[in-house]
């Protein structure tokens, strides 16, 4: 088994918004205030292009993709020696481990070499050996079309990228109201939490007090009879 250590961590990332769309849409996707005008990212307009992650050169101090490219080249030279490939990244429920591996394999190209997935619960010897024995017993190749983990990872990755527009909205509004000059980081979790908070505040601010009636009657013995009414006005 050959383990290309160059494939640790992410080496690729989705390009910036203005680099993902047709030329006529570039001005809109470049403008951080466009979302305030009602133009939100349209997934159907995005090409989902990826590029090498840039890193700071320790010697020159310049930011470039030389280091990332060298790691990919070294990995490709090793993968070219193999007749099959086994993905053994973490079995993350989000599918991130599968995305990490597949995006590199698709970028460098592996031809028609079969790809297999080693699935393990943890990194103990017992768990790894159990996963290897299971893989050898059911040696079925996987593809990006048949891998549910890849589909989950891809969905998460693209959703993360789409939430970039909320970073733009929050940052622009914060600057306009002189609250902060920093970039306001909004992720998929913070966006959901803030959305829930906004709905609660809106419900409080827009609350309208409504009278509530319940039909009741009293007999000659002071027994009270009520007809329960639901909030939508129907009787229960």
Q: List per-block mean pLDDT (blocks of 10 residues) for the chain, which spans 236 residues.
A: 61 93 93 80 93 85 86 87 86 86 89 88 86 84 90 91 83 83 77 86 88 78 80 60
Residue 82 domain-assigned (yes or no): yes
pLDDT of residue 4: 56
What is the residue range of 41's domain? 5-160
Asked whether residue 105 falls in the same domain as residue 129, the answer is yes
Asked whether residue 168 falls in the same domain as residue 156, the answer is no
Residue 132 domain-assigned (yes or no): yes
DSSP secondary structure of 163-220: THHHHHHHHHHHHHTTS-SS-----HHHHHHHHHHHHHHHHHHT---------EEE-T
* Other Cβ atoms within 10 Å of 34 Cβ, number: 19
Cα atoms in the Cβ-side hemisphere of radius 13 Å centred on 198: 6
pLDDT of residue 153: 92
pLDDT of residue 15: 94
pTM confidence score: 0.71
């Amino acid at each position: 088994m050959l383990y290309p250590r160059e494939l640790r961590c992410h080496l690729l990332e989705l390009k910036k918004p203005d680099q993902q769309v047709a030329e006529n849409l570039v001005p809109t996707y470049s403008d951080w205030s466009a979302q305030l005008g009602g133009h939100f990212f349209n997934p159907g307009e995005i090409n989902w292009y990826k590029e090498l992650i840039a890193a700071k050169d320790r010697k020159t101090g310049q930011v470039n993709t030389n280091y990332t490219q060298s790691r990919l080249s070294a990995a490709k030279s090793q993968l070219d020696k193999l007749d099959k490939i086994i993905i053994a990244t973490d079995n993350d429920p989000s599918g991130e481990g599968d995305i990490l591996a597949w995006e590199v394999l698709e970028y460098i190209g592996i031809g028609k070499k079969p790809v297999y997935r080693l699935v393990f619960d943890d990194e103990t010897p017992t768990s790894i050996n159990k996963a290897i024995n299971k893989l050898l017993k059911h040696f079925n190749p996987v593809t990006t079309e048949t891998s549910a983990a890849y589909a989950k990872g891809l969905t998460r990755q693209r959703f993360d990228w789409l939430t970039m527009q909320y970073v733009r909205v929050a940052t622009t509004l914060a600057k306009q109201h002189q609250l902060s000059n920093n970039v306001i980081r909004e992720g998929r979790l913070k966006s959901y939490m803030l959305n829930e908070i906004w709905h609660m505040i809106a419900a409080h601010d827009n609350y309208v007090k409504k009278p509530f009636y319940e039909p009741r009657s009293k007999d000659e013995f002071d027994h009270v009879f009520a007809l329960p009414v639901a909030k939508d006005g129907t009787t229960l």
